[in-house]
Structure formats: C-alpha cells, structure tokens
C-alpha cells in the first residue's frame, strides 16, 4: 500500500510546475539526497508547499511580494546534530530559489524556529509561526515525537507541512491529514539494510536495539521481520531511552547471546556512548550499524579508530548520482561549499 502523501521523486523545473501542481500528493527526497538533480530537492519541496497552498486551500491568500515559510528543527538539544544538518539544506534551497525566479516569481522568506529537541516546544513554535508569523507552509522536523504534534497543528490550521525526517507509518496510513507530507519512508531504509546485512555481513546472530521513539520502534520491528525471513537469528530486540548514559546491562546481554552484529536505531549522541562502551567492555562485534546518526565526520573525529567496522546509511554522497545529473550534482557541492 502506498502511503498517503507520497509520489515518486521528480525534478522540478519551471516548465513542469503546472503538471506537478496537479498531482494528488507531493513528495521529494530530503535535502540534496536521493534526487534526480541535487539542486532541486528542497527547492522542489518548497515548490510543493506552494502548489498545495494555491491549489488545495479553500481560502484566498493576501497578495504579498514574498512567500513566508516556517521551519521547525531541533537546532539545540540532544538531536541538534541532525537538526542542524536539515537546517543547512533548507537554507541553501531557499538561497537557490531566490537566486533564480523564486516560486511563481515570488521570493521565499524563511522563518526558522528551534524546537530544542522537545515536542512541547515544537507545538508552540508551530502555533507561533502560523498564528503570529502568518507562514503559508511548514517544513523541517526530526523524529516523529516532534513531527506528529506539528502535523496536528498544521491540520488544525489547514497549513501544508512537509516533514523532513519522519518514519512512523501511522502518521500517513491511519490519520486523515491531507496537509501532511513526508520525504522519507520506512521501507526505503529497512529493505536495503536487510539485504546488506544478509548478503555482505552474514552474521551468526544479530541484535537490534532502538530508541523509544515511534519511527525507531517501527524500524526495529520491520527489520526484525525482514532479517528473520532471510534466515538471520535475532535473539535480542530492545528499546532504550535516547540520551541514556550507560548501556552496560544491554551490552552484557549481547555478550551472553554471542551476537556479532549490532543494529542500533539510536541517534548521534547514543552512538558515541555505545561505541565507547563497546570498546571499554570488549564486546566482540563484527559490525555496528546505525541506520541514521552515524554518517557524520564528527563521529570519526570523536572516536578515531573506534569507528572502524561501523556502518551507516547515507542518503547521498558526492559522486553517487543518476546518469545525466553529474553536472548538477557537482554544481550543488560547489555552491554549498562556497556558502
């Protein structure tokens, strides 16, 4: 079943904008990731919001020279590394749009807010952006414990919201929210990861641990089912609270179960703590996998040699792009580095 709010990724150019706006759903890949042309990704998302505003809403918008879009991300707190990454992608997309023809000839004004990695703050920021700043749409959001509440605020006020990092299937499959869209889906992570573990790592036994968040919990369940169907034994599946300072009890279970591959659905700070304690307690792992929160230079700087045999899913990397998009990809990298 296709999730509501998802259509295949497309490149957004002025010539096809009307066709894009006619689509039932709007969906593009995150930041400069998994796209047909690097510079069009967040630009496409912002265009998607504008299409939704002009084609879907039942009220007239006042004429203005700019389109005001609100961004909510964890710029501080335990999820700050993730939120700052998304924030930089959105900033660059706005710069690209405004350097060109804008959206239907209008410039984009981005109004950013920090949710401090807290759901209650995310709700307040969403309400403030909609009611006081009068934004036409919302973008951003990391983890479903923040994204879910923002989506409810967006629904209440009938403002389009495109979430940058959301996996909880219930947000699109069980809730009727025509104003909520996302740029990621769970099987896009689970399927390739399951194949990699089965065909490349070939573990004797694997363990799955995950943060106690909706998306990470669903990830663990789906990955367990996929791996077991592939013949991989999974003796341990456990959740933990994000930001936990000590994983000793869990690591003891890994040792007793003789697990040789660990998949951790945690976040950047969790990976740092876990990998240090795995080394300190001499847990004999063949591989450590973090589907998110691992593909950062900072992790290698912090851990040095402890980052060996650590694998992470990276949405996009320079040099990996579809045929015919190499020039656009290189231009994106060069432009971003010049900021």
The C-alpha angle with vertex 295 and arms to 289 and 301, in degrees rounded to 5, equals 105
Residue 292: other Cβ atoms inside 10 A: 26
More confident: 31 or 117: 117
The answer to whether residue 322 is domain-embedded is: no
Do residues 27 and 139 both lie within one domain?
Answer: yes
- 3-state helix, strand and coil shares in percent for the chain, rounded to the nearest 5: 45, 15, 40
Tell me what the pLDDT averaged over the chain comes to.
Answer: 83
Per-residue model confidence as pLDDT tens digits over 292-331:
999 888 899 999 999 999 999 876 776 778 888 888 888 8
The answer to whether residue 162 is domain-embedded is: yes
The C-alpha angle with vertex 215 and arms to 159 and 114, in degrees rounded to 5, equals 50
pLDDT of 321: 80
Per-residue model confidence as pLDDT tens digits over 252-265:
999 999 999 999 99
What's the total number of domains in the chain? 2
CA dist list (Å): 66 to 43, 91, 103, 194, 279: 15, 16, 9, 45, 53
pLDDT of 268: 95
Percent of the chain past pLDDT 90, that is, above it, reads 66
Ordered alpha helix ranges (H), the chain: 17-22, 41-56, 80-99, 119-131, 144-157, 170-173, 187-196, 214-229, 248-257, 268-280, 297-303, 326-337
Tokens of 166: 């959301």
Per-residue pLDDT band at 174 (split at 50, 70, 90): confident
Domain carrying residue 44: 14-185
pLDDT of 46: 55
Three-state secondary structure readout of 86-104: HHHHHHHHHHHHHHCCCEC
pLDDT of 327: 87
Of 155, 185, 215, the residue that ends a domain is 185
Of 138, 164, 185, the residue that ends a domain is 185
Per-residue pLDDT band at 16 (split at 50, 70, 90): very low
The answer to whether residue 207 is domain-embedded is: yes
The answer to whether residue 9 is domain-embedded is: no
Alpha carbon distance 44, 207 (integer Å) = 38
- DSSP letters of 141-166? EESHHHHHHHHHHHHHHT--EEEEE-
Average pLDDT over residues 19-26: 28
Average pLDDT over residues 203-211: 97
Q: How many C-alpha atoms does 153 have within 13 Å on its Cβ side?
A: 27
Instruction: Look at residue 264 and give its three-state secondary structure.
Output: strand
Do residues 144 and 204 both lie within one domain?
Answer: no
Nearest by Cα to 77 from 243, 236, 199: 243
Do residues 265 and 279 both lie within one domain?
Answer: yes
For the domain that residue 294 is a member of, what is the CATH number? Answer: 3.40.50.2300
Of 152, 185, 218, the residue that ends a domain is 185
Alpha carbon distance 296, 302 (integer Å) = 10
pLDDT above 90 for 140: yes
Instruction: Look at residue 26 and give its three-state secondary structure.
Output: coil
Do residues 116 and 232 both lie within one domain?
Answer: no
Per-residue model confidence as pLDDT tens digits over 55-78:
444 443 456 689 999 999 999 999
Average pLDDT over residues 227-250: 96
**Non-local CB neighbours of 105 within 8 Å, separated by 6+ positions:** none
Average pLDDT over residues 185-192: 90
Alpha carbon distance 217, 239 (integer Å) = 8
pLDDT of 55: 45
Do residues 261 and 121 both lie within one domain?
Answer: no
Per-residue model confidence as pLDDT tens digits over 217-236:
999 999 999 999 999 999 99
pLDDT of 218: 95
């Amino acid at each position: 079943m296709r999730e509501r709010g998802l259509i295949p990724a497309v490149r957004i150019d002025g010539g096809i904008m009307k066709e894009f706006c006619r689509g039932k759903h709007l969906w593009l890949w995150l930041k400069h990731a998994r796209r047909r042309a690097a510079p069009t990704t967040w630009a496409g998302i912002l265009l998607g919001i504008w299409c939704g505003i002009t084609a879907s809403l039942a009220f007239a918008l006042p004429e203005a020279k700019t389109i005001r879009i609100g961004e909510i991300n964890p710029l501080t707190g335990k999820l700050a590394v993730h939120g700052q990454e998304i924030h930089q992608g959105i900033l660059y997309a706005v710069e690209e749009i405004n350097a060109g023809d804008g959206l239907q000839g209008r410039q984009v004004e981005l109004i950013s807010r920090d949710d401090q990695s807290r759901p209650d703050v995310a709700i307040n920021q969403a309400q403030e952006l909609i009611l006081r700043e009068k934004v036409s749409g919302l973008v951003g959001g990391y983890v479903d414990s923040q994204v879910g509440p923002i989506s409810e605020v967006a629904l209440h006020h009938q403002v389009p919201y495109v979430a940058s990092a959301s996996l909880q299937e219930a947000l699109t499959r069980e809730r009727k929210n025509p104003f909520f869209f996302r740029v990621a889906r769970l099987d896009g992570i689970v399927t390739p990861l399951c194949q990699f573990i089965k065909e490349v790592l070939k573990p004797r036994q694997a363990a799955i641990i995950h943060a106690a968040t909706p998306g990470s919990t669903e990830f663990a369940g789906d990955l367990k089912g996929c791996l077991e169907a592939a013949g991989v034994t999974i003796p341990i599946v456990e959740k933990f609270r994000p930001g936990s300072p000590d994983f000793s009890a869990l690591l003891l279970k890994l040792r007793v179960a003789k697990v040789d591959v660990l998949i951790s659905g945690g976040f950047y700070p969790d990976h740092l703590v876990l990998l240090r304690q795995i080394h300190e307690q001499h847990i004999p792992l063949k591989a450590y996998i973090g589907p998110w929160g691992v593909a950062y230079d900072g992790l290698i700087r912090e851990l040095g040699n402890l980052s060996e045999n650590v694998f992470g899913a990276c949405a996009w990397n320079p040099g990996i792009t579809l045929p015919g998009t190499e020039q656009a990809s290189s231009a994106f990298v060069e432009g971003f580095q010049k900021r």
